Amino acid sequence: MALDPTRKQRLRAQLVGKTLHDVPTPSVVLDLAKVTTNCERMLEATKRLGLLWRAHVKTHKTLELTRLQVGDTGPVSLIGSTVTDVENLLPLVKEYQSSNRRANVLLGFPLFPSAVPRLRTFLSQAGPGSLSVLIDNPAQLASVSALAFGLSPVPIFLKIDAGYGRAGVVPSSPACAELIDAALAAETSGDAILHGIYCHAGHSYALRETWSAMDYLADEFGGLAGVAKLIRSKSPGHDLVLSVGATPTATAIQHPLFSSSGGKDGGTDAPATATTVQNQLAELKAEGFQLEVHAGVYPTLDLQQLATHARDASLMTADDIAISVLAEVASGMSPPPPLNPTLPTQQKQETSTKKKKSTPPEAKPQQQKP
Ligand SMILES: Cc1ncc(COP(=O)(O)O)c(C=O)c1O
């Protein structure tokens, strides 16, 4: 991400002004116009719906694309998937701070002890409020205290499992209640600020029906709403950010029903859950919660996103995919030759059985994919 400047200069000299025929292979090719459109669509939708926006940088890991993800105005909220991602964002965070834009980076992985020294360096350089962490177990709060020690209280998000089953506590579970109690205690002790609750609907990648990601978005908000109310029952009036998203669910907010024209010119059937989500947003806002959406694959998109049909063809087709890999083809394998058609059937089978036994797996003839 923070490419050493001389290397960047060398790459510029080598690549700027060249055609795709001149660049070395393999190369990742980004279509800037498409990335820009994908980023603008997300910024526009969150702004129109009065949602906070948090951009995940994991897909491209570049400062250039991070700038497109956060746009030109407003607070800057980012997510990195590794400590290195977080560290590499430091120059950009400082740049935004110097132009009076509040900037915060969330480590999008539950906090672990060995991350603390490097995160302390980031926090001491970027200042109070610049770094947030995810917590899904009370034991991690010891690392939060170590991170905050002598510096500043650390904003934490409680990680909630919205059905993906990879990390987080299940809403309404005893573990969830214990986590809330521990987080509120850490807040009282001055080490942490219980900033929000966070889920990531990674299981939405398995969806295949147009706009069905809207159902999972409703589940995300519904799950977080329950947890938020539990927190408020323990700490009345507590400020909280409810942060939801994976690219399929986050981009579902681009549904034309949510536009000012109410979808009349969008040419899209609105799934019933689009209305549910609209009502959820209104209710949660009325209760004083701040609502945030996060995503990371959407700037480039890929075939997997296309397969989810999270948005219809008015908003996502193969043409919206902004990333490709330029590779040199060394060999175009022919299909395996047919079995000798002149042999009698029985003999054919024996030959093929013998072949199977004697052929090591890696040398098996490949079937050509359609
Ligand atoms: C914790 C977390 N949040 C957000 C995201 C971004 O979601 P997506 O990759 O679907 O854009 C990821 C992706 O891995 C993640 O792990």
List, for residues 159-211, the tens digit of each pLDDT value: 999 999 999 999 999 999 999 999 999 999 999 999 999 999 999 999 999 99
> How is residue 263 written in tokens?
């979808």
Res 264 pLDDT > 70:
no
54 lines ligand 1 (CB under 6 A): no
Q: Is residue 351 part of a domain?
A: no
Q: Is residue 175 part of a domain?
A: yes
In this prediction, residue 341 carries a pLDDT of 61
In this prediction, residue 136 carries a pLDDT of 98
Q: Is residue 54 part of a domain?
A: yes
**Cα 340 to ligand 1 centroid, rounded to whole Å:** 52
* Ligand 1 atom, smallest distance to 159 CA: 1
Mean pLDDT on 258-264: 60
56 lines ligand 1 (CB under 6 A): yes
Q: Is residue 96 part of a domain?
A: yes
Mean pLDDT on 344-366: 42
**Cα 295 to ligand 1 centroid, rounded to whole Å:** 6
Residue 368 · residue 333 · CB < 8 Å:
yes
pTM (global) more than 0.95: no
What percent of the residues of the chain are helix, what percent strand, and what percent coil, each to the nearest 5?
A: 45, 15, 40
Distance CA 130, CA 77 (A): 9
**Cα 240 to ligand 1 centroid, rounded to whole Å:** 20
> How is residue 29 written in tokens?
């090719």
pLDDT, one tens digit per residue, over 287-335 is: 999 999 999 999 999 999 999 999 999 999 999 999 999 999 888 888 8
Tell me the pLDDT band of 342, cut-offs 50, 70 and 90: low
297 lines ligand 1 (CB under 6 A): yes
Domain containing residue 188: CATH number: 3.20.20.10
How many independent structural domains does the chain possess? 1
Q: Is residue 357 part of a domain?
A: no
Residue 356 · residue 335 · CB < 8 Å:
no
Mean pLDDT on 139-168: 97
Structural domain boundaries enclosing 105:
27-325
244 lines ligand 1 (CB under 6 A): no
Q: Is residue 88 part of a domain?
A: yes
Res 346 pLDDT > 60:
no
Q: Is residue 223 part of a domain?
A: yes
- The residue whose CA is least distant from atom 16 of ligand 1 is 108
In this prediction, residue 266 carries a pLDDT of 43
**Cα 186 to ligand 1 centroid, rounded to whole Å:** 26
- The residue whose CA is least distant from atom 1 of ligand 1 is 108
78 lines ligand 1 (CB under 6 A): no
Residue 43 parent element (H or E): helix 32-48
pLDDT, one tens digit per residue, over 58-75 is: 999 999 999 999 999 999
**Cα 266 to ligand 1 centroid, rounded to whole Å:** 28
Q: Is residue 350 part of a domain?
A: no
* Ligand 1 atom, smallest distance to 81 CA: 16
Tell me the pLDDT band of 258, cut-offs 50, 70 and 90: confident
